[in-house]
Structure 1
Amino acid sequence: MVDRRKFLTRSLALSATVLPTAMHAQDASPQGMPDTELVSRMRQKLAQELGDASVAAELAPSIFDVGFEWTPPMRPAKELRAVVAYSFGNRLTSDPKAQPEPGPVNEALAEAVVRVRALMAPGTPVYAQWEIAHFLVVKHGLKDVVSIEPVVAPDGTVTYLSTDGVAEAVVKKAGGVTALGPVTVIGHRDHAKRCVLTSRARGMDAWVAKEVPLPVEYDAESGQAWTRRRDLYLLHDMAAQMMMLRAAKIAEIYPKG
């Protein structure tokens, strides 16, 4: 397993270097402005606002990566050897103490798992967060899904796993990243970049299968408010990416704490 400090340092390296160079999108903004020019303008504006050109030069690439890069690195499904599926939102029940229902977005994610797996070798292992695993078993009849369940304390308190918690659990259940081989990540289209980053930070050789589009719809009735609307979720995801960068940068600069 990857210890916490190595995880944070690896997160920083991946987010700052690996992912932007592997993006599927063209190296230009929709308006035709080259990315390098956009970053340069961001750096100039930050330098003006902060009165510090060196700090602006440090920050601008990270702000560009977090705010403007959303397409994850991709490979053909046939080159990948396992599926790792991350859930998105849920539906609360009338009983506040009961486990939420998986919800329609996770049903769509299960459909994506099925489509991707059909392009992979027979018997490809699937590791899916429980909301997705539910539909894979009940609706699609898959018998060999490894479901990543919430953590239940002795007093019955349920802790739902973060993206990183799911990635960590997958590596543990698989017996290590070598046993997994290269994996295809299934996640909501706006969550997929962070799913890949987090999977890689946990040591996985993670990609998104290029042939199958990921769900982009939102559930206005989701029990997680940040997953009800795209504008809210993107803010949530950018904040999460920034916190990853923050923690990793601290671990890099102050490795002894």
Structure 2
Amino acid sequence: MERRRFAAGIAAAAAAPALLGAAPAPSHGDDRLRKAMRAALGDELDDRATARAVEPHIHDIGFDWHPPTAPLGRIDFLVAYGFGNRPPAGGGDPTKVMYEPGPVNEELADTVARVRAHRDVPVYAQWEIARFLKSKYRMTDVTSVEPVVAPDGTLTYLSTDGVAAQVVEARKKLPEGIGTAGVIGFRDHVKRCVQTTNDRGMKAYAPAGFEMPGTYDPESGQAWTRRRDLYLVHDMTAQWTVLREKLIARASSGNS
């Protein structure tokens, strides 16, 4: 019976529409789901204590896709993370020829422009987005985070963490300090973008009141960004990997 209630809770959570750009208010339904998750996992493991320890991680990674938000007045700069791309229009060796930014990154650039219209702050944008900010909007004060080019011309595209690392190094050099980041990212990616930005030593939030793009590109050059069911597995895997590293580091240092 408890597992049937757990399954019903999962279905209800999956069917509930996401209110993007704002953290969800706690609900009785969410409380019931979490209680059912703990009970079902405790039965399965025959270990209530471990179920209580593990359930928050399962809930956070599998059932909560909302980033923390902050009003624009608290944001000192924007970081825009790319999502997907398109294969090189002219063909050629894809390891040495730049991919095309693609339509999703244009939508992300549009989102950056909407935010910048309300608060004129510096922008650090992954190159796919920066291309549109400069060509479509003629936007100034934009730092493009580019792929790494090896001496033989081979391109290495940066991960989400790689982009965050570049941004924090640039911000450390400023006399006013790092400041607080407003994060722009694809709807199903933005929570992890905020987490990654925070993990790199920057206070980070999604700008409150702005909806993030959420339409997938079936022609993306990255297979995992072509459809939602596949991307969610990809993103959850990335979140689990980071959590695993944090928990192991904590245990290795003697902290519980």
Length-normalised TM-score, structure 2: 0.84
Map of 2:219 onto structure 1: 221
Determine if the alignment matches structure 1 residue 131 to structure 2 residue 134. Answer: no
Letter in 1 for 2:41: L
Q: Structure 2: any 5+ residue segments left out of the alignment?
A: 1-21
Q: CA deviation at 1:175?
A: 2.3
Match of 2:71 among 76, 79, 103: 76
Q: CA deviation at 1:95?
A: 2.0
Q: CA deviation at 1:176?
A: 5.5
Q: Which has the larger radius of gyration?
A: 2
Tell me, what secondary structure is at the counterpart of 1:38?
Answer: helix
Alignment check: 8 A CA contact 1:77 1:211 kept = no
Map of 1:255 onto structure 2: 253
Q: CA offsets per residue over residues 98-154 of structure 1, 9 Å max, x none?
A: 11100000000000001101111x4x1110000000000111111321010111222
**Structure having greater relative contact order (Cα 8 Å, sep ≥ 6):** 1
The residue correspondences of 1:137-148 to structure 2 (distance < 5 A) are 137-148=134-145
Match of 1:193 among 191, 201, 215: 191
Tell me, what secondary structure is at the counterpart of 1:188?
Answer: coil
CA distance in 1, matches of 2:79, 2:173: 14
Q: Structure 1: any 5+ residue segments left out of the alignment?
A: 1-22
Map of 2:114 onto structure 1: 115
With 47-56 and 96-105 compared, the bigger mean Cα shift is at 47-56
CA distance in 2, matches of 1:176, 1:220: 40
Determine if the alignment matches structure 1 residue 158 to structure 2 residue 155. Answer: yes
CA distance in 2, matches of 1:127, 1:99: 19
Determine if the alignment matches structure 1 residue 89 to structure 2 residue 84. Answer: yes
Letter in 1 for 2:246: A
Letter in 2 for 1:115: R
Aligned-pair RMSD on alpha carbons?
Answer: 1.6
Q: CA offsets per residue over residues 131-189 of structure 1, 9 Å max, x none?
A: 00000011111132101011122232221111111101001122259623111100001
Which 4+ residue blocks in structure 1 deviate beyond 4 angstroms? none
CA distance in 2, matches of 1:25, 1:244: 23
